[in-house]
Amino acid sequence: MLANEVRPGPNRYITGDGVLSDLPEYLSEFQEVAVITGEQSFDVFSAYYPHSFDYPIYRYDGSSSYENAQALAEAIQQADAVVAIGGGKVADTAKITAQTLGAELIVIPTLVSNCAPFTPVIVAYYPDHTICKIDYAKKGAYMTIVDTRFLLATPVDYFIAGIADTLAKYYEMEAIVRNMAEDDKTALVRLGFQSALLIKNLLIADAIQAVKDLEVGQLTPAFARITDAIIALAGEVGGFAVEFGRTSGAHALHDGLSYLSETHTVLHGNKVAYCIWVQLAYTNDFDVIEELRPFYEALHLPMKLKDLHVTRLDRDYFASVLTYAVKEEETFILIDPAITPEKVYQAIEAVEAL
């Protein structure tokens, strides 16, 4: 995708208490509907959904890979709508499958953990769960349906990981924008950055309370605000600010960490939380790390490698991680064009020494 392409969110974004009850009406305009989901995702959906659901169901394999998406397309054969019911990997798998089939995509998130249901971004992995590449669907979803009451089924750890992943929007963009000439900050870049700042302020103000509300199963304005911030507002940062608002250091290092198998069971947002600190150390913003420490402590976010199940710190062990993080086609380079593996490793050492 071209770096200066503005790619906002879905054609229709539907959010609110109980909006899934209108799903039959939304699907009535389609002739052949196929559903892509996971085992747990569909169980949660079935327990909540108030109507019969008589559509063919296809299970993804958990990898979010081109291989699995292609296999699903071959199994479905023909559809004019693909409905993704699940988390981020289900959504990204369905984006590829829908595009392959020439079908419209409808996304029903079953948990609040990232902006995948909103954006055309595809985080693709190989079948062995190592990172493949960041790709972009040719068009966004036709519809994303965010039922805030249904999403009270979100596991608390996923919600917290989503908060961390969304927090990165501000810090990743700020590290880029601080070095941009004023004339390079287009109207759209400025809008994206103001959105990122709004998101950060919403999270700091509401996230801890929203977690408490989720823990007791109470739908509150705070929970609804954080839900829409994680899913929709986060997606609009990159949607408007183009390459300057999508990812930078934290996500590039996150992707590199996929080469350490012990991190595969750690939630995406939790890895990103640690990587925010490494990025802040890289840019010598240790004062910001200390400002964030109480927020991290309140949400029990990772602050050390051991929190990601990584027990080694020797340079050779991190070689593949560092090599990937500084690749020219990755996004850490947007912060520092002169980035090197050694500089990133020094930032990791600095965080481990805090």
Q: Any known ligand binding at 247?
A: no
Q: Any known ligand binding at 17?
A: no
What gap in Å lies between CA 50 and CA 254, rounded to an integer?
38
What gap in Å lies between CA 254 and CA 171, rounded to an integer?
14
Q: Any known ligand binding at 93?
A: no
Q: Which residue type occupies 30?
A: F
What gap in Å lies between CA 311 and CA 265, rounded to an integer?
15
Q: Any known ligand binding at 90?
A: yes
Other Cβ atoms within 10 Å of 250 Cβ, number: 30
By DSSP bridging, strand 131-136 and strand 121-125 are antiparallel
Distances from the Cα of 129 to the Cαs of 32, 93, 133, 349, in angstroms?
31, 13, 12, 26
Q: Any known ligand binding at 110?
A: yes
Are the C-beta atoms of 148 and 198 separated by less than 8 Å?
Answer: no
Whole-angstrom distance between the N-terminal and C-terminal Cα of the chain? 39
Q: Any known ligand binding at 125?
A: yes
- Going by the DSSP 8-state scheme, the letter that residue 111 receives in this structure is S
Q: Any known ligand binding at 91?
A: yes
The DSSP secondary structure of 275-293, one letter per residue, reads HHHHHHHHTT-HHHHHHHH
What gap in Å lies between CA 95 and CA 79, rounded to an integer?
13
Cβ within 8 Å of residue 190, ≥6 positions away:
none
Q: Which residue type occupies 155?
A: P
The pair of three-digit structure tokens given for residue 260, joined into one six-digit string: 């350490």
Which H helix or E strand runs over 198? helix 187-215
Taking alpha carbons only, the member of 70, 67, 94 closest to residue 83 is 94
Q: Any known ligand binding at 123?
A: no
Q: Any known ligand binding at 306?
A: no
Cβ within 8 Å of residue 290, ≥6 positions away:
none
Q: Any known ligand binding at 60?
A: no
φ and ψ at 305, to 5 degrees?
-55, -35
Q: Any known ligand binding at 38?
A: no
Which H helix or E strand runs over 105? strand 104-109
Q: Any known ligand binding at 113?
A: yes
Residues at the binding site for glycerol are 165, 251, 268
Binding residues for NAD(+): 88-92, 110-113, 119, 125
Could you tell me which residues are annotated as the binding site?
A: 88-92, 110-113, 119, 125, 165, 251, 268
